[in-house]
Structure 1
Amino acid sequence: MAHEFTVSGRIAKPVTEVFEAVADPKKLSGYFTTGGAKGRLETGATVTWDFHDFPGAFPVEVVEVLQNQKIVLRWGSPTGDTTTVTMTFADTGDGRTLVTIHETGWRDTPEGEKAAFGNCEGWTGMLCAMKVFVEHGINLRQGFYK
């Protein structure tokens, strides 16, 4: 069985603001892509994400974007797997947004399992960093890894 996971969290801002925190490369670079993001997340685009704590910019294929609803990404991994990440954004009815991230495509190998757990940790960290950045303007990742 291939490895996959889902993480989610609620952010106390409207869907449009939370969605833009991911789709806009300048905003994404403010709390997640510590080395910078290049290119807006739009269907059919290939953008670049870079992390100071995980050296080397890498391409991210944008499979699908439904404004304020869903972003689907695909990329390769150091294990040779190609994974698909689906982010959904849902209005909770109380001024908050539920962000859910699901990643699939890891092979059923020890390396695939380890990489899937690592990315699960990474996406959980991203949700925490996004919450604090969008709600309070604080970059949790600054100095966190190195």
Structure 2
Amino acid sequence: MEKLKISTAIQIARPVNDVFEAILEPDNMSNYFIAESSGRMEEGKTLQWKFPEFDEWVEIEVVEITTDEYISFQWEGSKDKKLLVEITLLPMNGNSTLARVTEGEMEPDETGIKWLAQNTEGWANFLACLKAYLEHGINLRKGAFEFLKVN
């Protein structure tokens, strides 16, 4: 049986460089994805991300960046499992951008299936929030996951 891999995409009505910078720059990312970052995404850099709904910081290792085309990083996508996340950007007609996120791979077992469901939902949400922020200046994530906070 094949290993599991996440793949999700969305078209954003903004030029590719706007989308690229929104992903690399923590001041932009805090408007749709993370609360804080220890820095801008740069090839070879290890960063800490803080999500608004969790107390923990998440470590990411930036692997490769190709301006306006590709961003990859590794993180603990599943407990004790370092996974590669790849974001590809493709210019489309009308000065828009196709943004695609892939993550993987995991075994097709109970842990892998749980990861596939949770992280596919997470990356689809990331793309929807990125689109809302870039096209309309709206932070869809703000307050959306308050129910996840442990009291």
Aligned counterparts of 2:54 and 2:114: Cα–Cα separation in 1: 16
Deviation at 1:78, TM superposition (A): 4.3
- Taking only the aligned residue pairs, the percentage that are identical comes to 32
Aligned counterparts of 2:54 and 2:116: Cα–Cα separation in 1: 16
- One-letter code aligned to 2:13: A
Deviation at 1:47, TM superposition (A): 1.1
Any unmatched runs of 5+ in structure 1?
none
- Conserved 8 A contact 1:61-1:75: yes
Aligned counterparts of 1:107 and 1:39: Cα–Cα separation in 2: 32
Cα 1:106–1:54 change in 2 (3 A) is farther
Question: Which residue number in structure 2 is paired with residue 103 of structure 1?
Answer: 103
- The correspondence of residues 22-101 of structure 1 with structure 2, limited to 5 A, is 22-33=23-34, 35-101=35-101
SS in structure 2 opposite 1:54?
Answer: coil
Question: Which residue number in structure 2 is paired with residue 127 of structure 1?
Answer: 127
- One-letter code aligned to 2:10: G
- One-letter code aligned to 1:95: N
Provide, for residues 54-76 of structure 1, a one-character-per-residue CA deviation record: whole Å limited to 9, x for no partner.
Answer: 33111101000001000011112
Aligned counterparts of 1:38 and 1:27: Cα–Cα separation in 2: 13
Aligned counterparts of 1:56 and 1:75: Cα–Cα separation in 2: 14
Any unmatched runs of 5+ in structure 2?
147-151
- Conserved 8 A contact 2:64-2:72: yes
The aligned length equals: 145
Aligned counterparts of 2:16 and 2:56: Cα–Cα separation in 1: 31
TM-score by length of 1: 0.93
Query: Once superposed, what is the RMSD of the aligned Cα atoms?
Result: 1.2
